Amino acid sequence: MRILILALFTLCSSVLIEAQELIVNVRVETPQLTGVDRAVFTTFEKDVNDFLNSYQFTNKQFKSEERIEVSLNINILDELSSTRFRAEATIQSNRPVFNSNYQSSTFIHRDGEWDFDYAQFEPIQFDPNSSTNTELANLLAYYMYLVIGFDFDSFSEQGGTPYFQQAKNIVDNSQNSDRLGWKPFDSNKQRNRYWMIENILKQDFIPMRKAYYQYHIKGLDQMNEDLQKGRREILKAIQTVNQANKDNPNSMMIKTFTQTKSEEIMKIFGDNVVPFTDKTKVANILSAIDPGNAQKFRDMSRPGKGGPSRPSGVNPGRGK
């Protein structure tokens, strides 16, 4: 479904070039390390980049212009041994908005519990049917399946389920791991890789996943055709997220949504032409689901506070 819809974003070519699903930009940083061999991390960055941009995570065939844009920043925090490292990683993926040059984020997340082994020049290999993959391979594959799942969810209702299930398989196969992040009691606040996929596949969050589709296909993708209608659909989707938060307060699914979408929502509803009642509704919902940023959201709804009615960069004309 995703590929059929994405075909509308680009002109058809007489020659179809089939490709892997992702375009991943990998960046490895070591600001806290001193006296280390930088060449190891240069090789590490290249190996991760090569693996993510060549491994086939699905059985779908993507044209080159359909590949999902992903950035992966790995910040090495500590060298535990010559081949074991502790790091935090930030993952962000985007999808195009119909009839525009705007890229909307579909997944933004920071994981501070990467603890993996890496030996220079050893290739990264992953087998989805194996329980003996390396920690590094599991971490990379887990997040790429989430990226693909959220992307497919944005193009069809619950379209990402097969890829979320693959991420769950990695979690299931990692229950005997001695590394943090895979088990339900590794975190005091139920905020780790186990709880992320538990939330995503939980029945309680099916309405929220459907709202994710509504937000993108019926909302963002319609804004160049009918700005007001697109904004109304986004408001409905946000109200569904609000209900999910009432039913499952302080969950990882809600946190992921606010990390990914709150800035974009503020831009969409920040314009002075947006009815004050809608601004207030959105500000109240965002404040409820992300109370740490409540003041920023309330400022958006104040009279005289405005921003662009479309996310910055959206082409107001038809597709070009």
Domain boundaries, the chain: 2-12+19-201, 208-301
Closest CA to 100 of 1, 219, 3: 219
Instruction: Tell me what pLDDT residue 190 has.
Output: 80
Q: Give the pLDDT confidence score for residue 10 in this predicted structure.
A: 43
217 DSSP 8-state letter:
I
Looking at residue 247, what is its pLDDT?
96
pLDDT value at residue 96: 95
Positive or negative, the CA dihedral 178, 184, 190, 196 is positive
Low-confidence ranges of the chain (pLDDT < 50): 7-17, 306-308, 312-320
- Predicted pLDDT of residue 303: 62
**Cα 193 from Cα 142, distance rounded (Å):** 9
Cβ(80)–Cβ(67) below 8 Å = no
DSSP tag of 62: E
220 class by beta-carbon count within 10 Å (0-12 exposed, 13-18 middle, 19+ buried): buried
- Rounded distance between C-alpha atoms, residue 135 and residue 226, angstroms: 47
